[in-house]
Amino acid sequence: MSSRADPIIVVGGGLGGAAMALALGRAGRRVRLLESAAEFGVIGYGIQLGPNVFPMFDRLGVREAVRRVCDVPTTVRMRDAFSGDNVTEVPTGRESFTARFKHPYIIVHRVDLHMTLLDACRKIPSISLEANTSVTGFVDHGDHVAVHTEDGHAIEGAAVIGADGLGSRVRAALFDEGRPRLNGYVAHRTIVPMETVTADVSRDDVVLWAGPGFHIVHYPLRHDTMFNIVAVFQTSTYSEKGEVDKYRAELIHTYRNAHPGMKQLLEMMDLERRWAISDRDPIRHWSKGRVTLLGDAAHPTLQSYAQGACMAIEDAVCLGELIELSGGDFVQAFQRYEAERCVRTARVQLESRLLWDVYHAEGLARDALWQVLSERNESDVYQCLAWLYDGVALPKSV
Ligand SMILES: Cc1cc2nc3c(=O)[nH]c(=O)nc-3n(C[C@H](O)[C@H](O)[C@H](O)COP(=O)(O)OP(=O)(O)OC[C@H]3O[C@@H](n4cnc5c(N)ncnc54)[C@H](O)[C@@H]3O)c2cc1C
């Protein structure tokens, strides 16, 4: 029979896993955070976070630390990929935005956010951060769990939380459902020093240039010293690993008619690596017994709303609250947690697919959508985002 002294095993030390460990550690729980990579938090690009994540940072005690490393963009703007015209914008830097949503919209280097969460974890002695520990499976013994690692060890604990991302091994052991859904798009990501940016583009807001079957997102990082660029496009080679020259030829062809500002951005791209874009259909249940999932392991989404990490952090705080409210009854806490979270996260997954189609629309559909978007005033824009940016109430009882 597990006791309060038994560790909770969190598999995966990404943003979701780190937030989960911190939530549990702050409540006095023992946590073993197992990460397969050799080091925690070493890679990353830019990330945008909506105002809904700030009440979660408050619960985790990291609001001020995050504020020190982040920036607030003037706007989040959508531009036409050919003409460069503004289609719509969210005035994130305006007072009306913070008056409406109470918290800021931020852009931050993923590594800085990750380190902020990990540094907070390191200050709590009951949290053990264990890199180089790749989980292969688990056994739920009913009154405790055992996790198995690639190097042949078994780690026992009170419960398992799978925060191991899109390709989750914990999820694969829970459900027989195949791989995530590839949507035929790929992403190339680059960060360059701001002084090397030669492209004639804005440097103080988040810009999404939307074209049929392709887009580019860019924004500044680290207090305007760096510049983050993501180029995303549809290609028949989405599942293949290629070489830089082949990737470059594809980009040149795909963006051949794009606005000159976009082409200048592409010249700055590092094309060593590409990511195939994928998500999954939403599911209502992602827990069994003493095992549950969070973040991308539970509800991977397309990036259209820039909310995947926000959802993982919301999950972590909600689950932490429920484990305490249930007095450590993990089965009950996990059931209540998925019930609390599944509609909101499903909505992010499903609306992200719709928004993805809007960004990449073609022909007359594109003209009509641009007209709809450009007719919205500030208050319409805020209303559309309210369900997401107003955030969630944390559970008060199980
Ligand atoms: C191009 C792009 C842009 C994005 N932009 C944004 C954005 O602006 N805003 C936003 O909120 N979200 C964004 N996202 C989504 C966001 O990155 C993810 O939703 C978020 O990182 C999910 O966090 P996670 O902790 O659930 O998973 P992950 O970040 O994937 O972390 C999983 C961790 O588990 C580890 N792991 C995996 N398998 C094992 C194992 N077997 N054993 C032990 N450890 C394991 C991995 O090494 C990793 O550290 C973007 C995604 C992409 C692809």
Give 166-183 pLDDT, tens digit per residue: 999 999 999 989 999 999
**Ligand 1: does its nearest atom lie under 6 Å from the Cβ of 187?**
yes
On whether the CB atoms of residues 388 and 348 are closer than 8 A, the answer is: yes
36 pLDDT exceeds 80? yes
pLDDT of residue 1: 52
Neighbouring residues of 109: CB distance < 8 A, sequence distance ≥ 6: 44, 45, 46, 47, 69, 191, 221, 222, 226
pLDDT average, residue stretch 123-139? 98
Over residues 221-236, mean pLDDT: 97
Separation between Cα atoms, residue 388 and residue 398, nearest integer Å: 23
pLDDT of 214 higher than 80: yes
Mean pLDDT of 191-203: 92
Q: Please work out whether the CB of residue 111 comes within 6 Å of at least one atom of ligand 1.
A: no
Going from the C-alpha of 254 to that of each of 208, 235, 249, 285, the distances in angstroms are 16, 9, 9, 40
Rounded mean pLDDT of 208-214? 98
Closest-lying ligand 1 atom to the alpha carbon of residue 34: 43
CA distance 196 to 190: 13
For residue range 348-391, what is the model confidence (pLDDT) as tens digits? Answer: 999 999 999 999 999 999 999 999 999 999 999 999 999 999 99
Point out the ligand 1 atom lying closest to the alpha carbon of residue 19: 25
Dihedral (Cα; 301, 304, 309, 312), 10-degree rounding = -40
Record the pTM: 0.97
Phi and psi of 221, rounded to 5°?
A: -140, 165
Task: Give yes or no for residue 43 having a pLDDT over 90.
Answer: no
- pLDDT bin (cut points 50, 70, 90) of residue 4 is low
3 has a pLDDT exceeding 80: no
CA 352 – CA 342 distance, rounded (Å) = 15
Burial 282-298 (b: 16+ CB within 10 A, else e): bbeebbeebbbbbbbbb
Shortest-distance Cα residue to atom 39 of ligand 1: 164
Strand, coil or helix: 182: strand
Q: Is 142 helix (H, G, I), strand (E, B) or coil?
A: coil
Name the CA radius of gyration of the chain, rounded. Answer: 21
Residue partners of 42: CB distance under 8 A and separation at least 6: 111
- On the question of pLDDT at 2 being above 70, the answer is no
Percent pLDDT > 90 in the chain is: 94
Percent residues over pLDDT 70 in the chain: 99
Coil, strand or helix: which one is 107? strand
Q: Is 312 in the pocket of ligand 1 (CB under 6 A)?
A: yes
